[in-house]
């Protein structure tokens, strides 16, 4: 890939890659650093980028893998951070649906951050970033059918976690009203 092709094909992907990295890392500086490092890797390997049918999808895969590596390095810290968000993230009831939506988003983000791969990546790519099934399957290097199964299991896990959180927070058991 020539420098001009790199500028035309890869560099415009920067914002999308940043959004993806931010979804994984939930930290602006880390996401910026991750994307910068990905861009440097891609630049160094630009001659081999021609070998890929879709270099932009490859850039997404490299970004995803970079983020997973960073998350693995900070795994112990992330559990403490997530627990802190879960303990302090509740907003007062009765402040309206906007705060309820923020609360639910924070809870779901915390749940997704704790998920194992490939569930975390599937949810982030498809549900949070809005990739099509086909695009997400390419990034995850799997079939659309496998992705659908993975998403179904991941979503079920999220629902179960939310049910536990909300039933615990209200003092209700699943079977009581």
What token pair was written down for 160? 């179960």
* Residues near 122 by beta carbon (within 8 Å), at least 6 away in sequence: 136, 140, 147, 150, 151, 154
Residue with tokens 């890869």: 10
* pTM value > 0.85: no
What share of the chain has pLDDT > 90, as a percent?
25
Q: Could you count the other beta carbons within 10 Å of the beta carbon of residue 128?
A: 16
Render pLDDT for 125-166 as a digit per residue (tens, 0 to 9). Answer: 888 888 889 888 988 899 999 999 999 999 899 888 877 776
Cα–Cα distances in angstroms (integers) from residue 172 to residues 19, 110, 119, 168, in the given order: 37, 22, 29, 7
Q: Report yes or no on 161 lying in a domain.
A: no
Q: Identify whether 49 is part of a domain.
A: yes
5-9, 95-99, 121-125: which range is least confident on average? 95-99
The winner for highest mean pLDDT among 50-54, 120-124, 160-164 is 120-124
CB 52 within 8 A of CB 130: no
Give me the number of domains the chain comprises: 1
In a domain, 28, yes or no: yes
Res. 83: pLDDT tops 60: no
Alpha-carbon torsion angle 159, 152, 111, 114, nearest 10: 150
Domain hosting residue 46, numbered range = 1-73
CATH number of the domain residue 33 falls in: 1.10.1740
């Amino acid at each position: 890939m020539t420098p001009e092709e790199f500028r035309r094909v890869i560099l415009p992907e920067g914002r999308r890659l940043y959004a993806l990295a931010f979804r994984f890392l939930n930290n602006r500086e880390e996401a910026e650093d991750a994307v910068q490092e990905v861009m440097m890797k891609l630049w160094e390997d630009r001659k081999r980028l021609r070998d890929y049918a879709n270099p932009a999808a490859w850039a997404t895969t490299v970004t995803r893998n970079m983020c997973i590596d960073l998350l693995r390095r900070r795994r112990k810290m992330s559990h403490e951070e997530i627990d802190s968000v879960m303990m302090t993230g509740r907003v007062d009831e009765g402040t309206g649906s906007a705060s309820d939506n923020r609360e639910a988003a924070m809870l779901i983000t915390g749940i997704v951050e704790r998920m194992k791969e490939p569930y975390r990546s599937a949810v982030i790519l498809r549900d949070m970033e809005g990739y099509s099934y086909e695009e997400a399957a390419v990034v995850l290097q799997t079939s659309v059918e496998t992705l659908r199964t993975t998403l179904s299991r991941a979503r079920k896990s999220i629902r179960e976690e939310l049910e536990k959180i909300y039933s615990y927070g209200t003092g209700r058991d699943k079977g009581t009203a």
